[in-house]
Amino acid sequence: MSALQPVRGTQDLLPAQMRRHRMVTDTARLIAERYGFEEIATPIFEFTEVFSRPIGEATDIVAKEMYSFKDRGGEEITLRPENTAGVVRAALSNGLQQSLPLKLFYSGPMFRYERPQKGRFRQFHQVGIELLGVAQPQADIEVIALGARILGALGVLERTELQLNTLGDTESRQRYRGELVTYFERYRGDLSEDSLRRLEVNPLRILDSKDPGDIEINKGAPEYGDSLSEASREFFGVLRRGLDLLGISYVVSPRLVRGLDYYCHTAFEFVTTDLGAQGTVLGGGRYDGLMGLMGGPETPGVGWAAGVERLAMLIGEPAAAPRPIAIVPIGEAGEAAALALAETLRGAGFAVDLGYSGNAGKRMKRANKINARVAIVLGEDEMKRQAAMLRDLDTGEQTEIPLGALEDRLAQFR
Tell whether domain 15-169+229-314 is in CATH 3.40.50.150. Answer: no
pLDDT tens, position by position, 278-305: 589 999 999 998 999 999 999 999 999 9
pLDDT tens, position by position, 339-358: 999 999 999 999 999 877 77
Note the pTM of the prediction, 2 decimals. 0.88
Collapsing DSSP to helix, strand or coil, 264 comes out as strand
CB within 8 Å of 66: residues ≥ 6 apart: 48, 51, 52, 78, 79, 81, 111, 112, 113
Strands 301-307 and 123-132: antiparallel
Q: Which of 395, 291, 301 is nearest to 101 (CA)?
A: 301
Collapsing DSSP to helix, strand or coil, 229 comes out as coil
- Going by the DSSP 8-state scheme, the letter that residue 96 receives in this structure is G
Alpha carbon distance 310, 124 (integer Å): 10
pLDDT of residue 61: 64
CATH class of residue range 325-413? alpha beta
The answer to whether the bond into 101 is cis (omega within 30° of 0) is yes
Q: Which of 202, 38, 69 is nearest to 132 (CA)?
A: 38
pLDDT tens, position by position, 143-199: 999 999 999 999 999 999 999 999 999 888 888 888 888 898 888 888 888 888 888
The residues of the chain that CATH labels 3.30.930.10 are 15-169+229-314
CB distance 214 to 180 below 8 Å: no
The residues of the chain that CATH labels 3.40.50.800 are 325-413
- Classify residue 35 by burial, with Cβ atoms within 10 Å: 0-12, 13-18, 19+: middle
Q: Which of 113, 107, 114 is nearest to 306 (CA)?
A: 107
pLDDT of residue 59: 55
